Amino acid sequence: MKAFIRGAGVVGGFGCRLSRLEEAIRKHPAPDSDPAASGSSAEVSAVSAFTARTDLLDQLIPPRTLRRVDHYARMAILASHLAIEDAGMVNGVPENTGLIVATGMGPTANTLDLQAADVAATDLALSPILFSNSVQNAAAAYISMLLKIRGPGLSINQYEMAVPLAFQTAIDWLAEGRTETVLVGSIDCFSKALHETSLNCRDLKNGDGGQKAVPVGEGSTFFILTRPEAQDIRYPFVQHVHMGRAGRQDGAPIPNTLILHNGTGKNTDFMGQIPVHANFAHLYGTFPTSMGMDVAAAMLLLRTEPLLSISLPQFDGGPAFHENPRIGCLKKGETGDWGMIVIGR
């Protein structure tokens, strides 16, 4: 079943709203240089370029209401609010709107960065607010309360496969008639501990024994999905969601399909094929749920042909692509699993 994307909201290192993401793609359709070549500057680059600002949220929701909300949840609330605004639902979403939040690591800033190495010091530093904000479904709770989402709610954690699973669940809800509208999205936050680990990890897959600078980032993307019969749809739609494991022969069909692959390596082999692809990791980093950013980018590429030409000048899909334009957003997991969300127009 197809699901129309009625609205979208994005928050990342490039800024807030789809217009800022589009501007970033136009200015930097390809990375200026290899992040790994920058050596010790990789950490400075990651902190400055891939962390998101949420100041705009204070203009949308009274700051007093947000005084106990951490950065992780603020990104999710802001992206959700922008998606609802983009969908023209500022006066309120439908009563039975469902909510699905995907996360790979959850609020890692609370669980890792603020965790003292000394057990005794940790006991003294315990805070009920920090603990409440450290659970995986904290973002979903804040979104439901502040944006008045009254339908079914679900938080999904499956590391790199959380986003395709969330989209598949949203489509299932729409197909089953559980709700006519779903707010589905993803959220992960930057963690200094994770970034330090990435700087010291070794690329064993490719036989590289040296350091590999991974552009760890953060951000949140949310989308308003509706059933196909909904009116006034301005954006592309979710055509398919595929999930599987490497080595299986029943993989997602990709002929005449562009691929957005958010990864750190140059290996884009997929089920024995190497499709035409683009990678925008230099704009928003690479984190477990960065696939959500790829979905937003795919929407923009399909909606604006000049942007597609800038990002993939070597691609000419021919009559087949122009008859059925679509972009597959691919995420490959470290354990061999993969997920793909195909966006059509």
User: What is the third-level CATH fold of 3-344?
Assistant: Peroxisomal Thiolase; Chain A, domain 1 (3.40.47)
Q: Is the pLDDT of residue 22 over 90?
A: yes
| Whole-number average pLDDT of the chain | 80
Pick the range with the lowest mean pLDDT from 42-56, 196-210, 313-327. 196-210
pLDDT value, residue 342: 92
Q: Given pLDDT bands bounded at 50, 70 and 90, which one contains residue 334?
A: confident
Q: Given pLDDT bands bounded at 50, 70 and 90, which one contains residue 17?
A: very high
pLDDT value, residue 204: 41
| Mean pLDDT to the nearest integer, 303-324 | 78
Q: Is the pLDDT of residue 108 over 90?
A: no
Of the two residues 274 and 92, the one the predictor is more confident about is 92
pLDDT value, residue 193: 66
Q: Is the pLDDT of residue 322 over 80?
A: no
Q: Given pLDDT bands bounded at 50, 70 and 90, which one contains residue 36?
A: very low
Identify which of 40-44, 188-192, 236-240 has the greatest average pLDDT: 236-240
Q: Enumerate residues 6+ apart whose C-beta is below 8 A from 263.
A: 279, 281, 286, 332
**Would you kindly state where each structural domain of the chain is located, as residue ranges?**
3-344
Q: Is the pLDDT of residue 52 over 80?
A: yes
pLDDT value, residue 195: 67
The torsion angles phi and psi of 42, rounded to 5 degrees, stand at -60, -40
Contact between 118 and 62 under an 8 Å Cβ cutoff? The reply is no
**Rounded distance between C-alpha atoms, residue 294 and residue 221, angstroms:** 10
Identify which of 22-26, 197-201, 324-328 has the greatest average pLDDT: 22-26
**Rounded distance between C-alpha atoms, residue 309 and residue 233, angstroms:** 24
Identity of the amino acid at 26: R
- pLDDT tens digits, one per residue of 156-185: 998 889 999 999 999 999 999 999 999 999
pLDDT value, residue 10: 97
Q: Given pLDDT bands bounded at 50, 70 and 90, which one contains residue 30?
A: confident
Report the predicted TM-score, pTM, of the whole model to 2 decimal places: 0.86
pLDDT value, residue 112: 58
Pick the range with the lowest mean pLDDT from 110-119, 229-238, 303-312, 321-330. 110-119
Identify which of 153-167, 252-266, 304-318 has the greatest average pLDDT: 153-167
Q: Given pLDDT bands bounded at 50, 70 and 90, which one contains residue 255?
A: low
Q: Is the pLDDT of residue 282 over 80?
A: yes
